[in-house]
Amino acid sequence: MQVHVKFFAIFREYIGLKEDWREIEPGTTVQELWNHYTAHAKNPRAANIRAAFSVNQRLAKPETVLNGGEEVGFLPPVSGGAGAQKQIAARKTKTPARAAKKNVARTRAFVITQKPLTLDALITRVSHPGAGGIVTFLGVVRDNANDKQVKFLEYEAYPELAERMLAQIGAEANERWSDVRIAIAHRIGRLKIGEASVIIVTSSAHRADAFAACRYAIERLKVILPVWKKEFASDSDYWVEGPTVGDVLPDAADEIVAAADAATRENESAPSPSFGVLSAAENVGEIRTDLESV
């Protein structure tokens, strides 16, 4: 029996393989297969990094039994969000410049692409006559991280699984806000400072649902999307490590959205200050300017 094995990001570097076709014994589990690779890894530190597993482009448990013919993916922790990241495998940087690619519009709802992202295409994807609000989120490359100057980033993905996970995020959002339309695109490859790495667009009849669904999507994306980020600083490059795929449940994103919604409602209910508001005096025809709060 033979399986097709794929490695990504830090695992690709530590194991020393991008992919492999491995003969296995009947009854071999995904965990046992992973143990084989870590025991023979180019860098033994691979065994110290918690892995997530996929079989046929779906997340799988360690005890999943392989029958032969499967595509097995070994997934390191995803890039995550600010505050939940750490650097691994810092090393000296020596990377040649690459040619920029032309901007190309995307029309699918859930996209992993090497081409520059286009906001207008995603807005068109979710627009409809009943939409009273459209919310957009752009995640862009900044020039600093962890007190270091960043020159550029490189993103790597398991594209087939990543697009499946983006669609899952969309389905989760629709379970919570049924009339929301959502589109997400994530770029991979080399990105310069200021370029968009991810765009999320949501539309709804009411703005509150569009805002909430957009916030939910980015929080979920940061913890389940099999996309990995390498930061190239002035003197080193390193993979950024966040959560392991599947470890963070949707409840965490629900709580963040609920907290943001509560804060918004509190701000909206607070009395508004008066800034130069014109008001009518008792004497008809006389107008005064209330400037007490200025």
CA atoms within 13 A on the CB side of 32: 12
pTM assigned to the model: 0.81
8-54 residue pLDDT tens: 999 999 999 999 999 999 899 999 999 999 999 999 999 999 999 99
pLDDT: is 106 or 163 the higher one? Answer: 163
pLDDT digits (tens, 9 = 90+) for 89-128: 444 444 434 433 333 333 589 999 999 999 999 999 999 9
What is the sign, positive or negative, of the torsion defined by CA atoms of 254, 256, 244, 58? positive
* Mean pLDDT, range 222-245, rounded to an integer: 92
Q: Quick one: pLDDT at residue 293?
A: 38
Helix runs in the chain, H state only: 9-15, 30-39, 119-126, 159-176, 207-224, 250-269
* Biggest alpha carbon–alpha carbon distance for the chain: 96
Domains defined along the chain, listed by start:
2-75 (3.10.20.30), 86-260 (3.90.1170.40)
Categorize the per-residue pLDDT at 284 as very low, low, confident or very high, splitting at 50, 70 and 90.
very low
pLDDT over 60 at 242, yes or no: yes
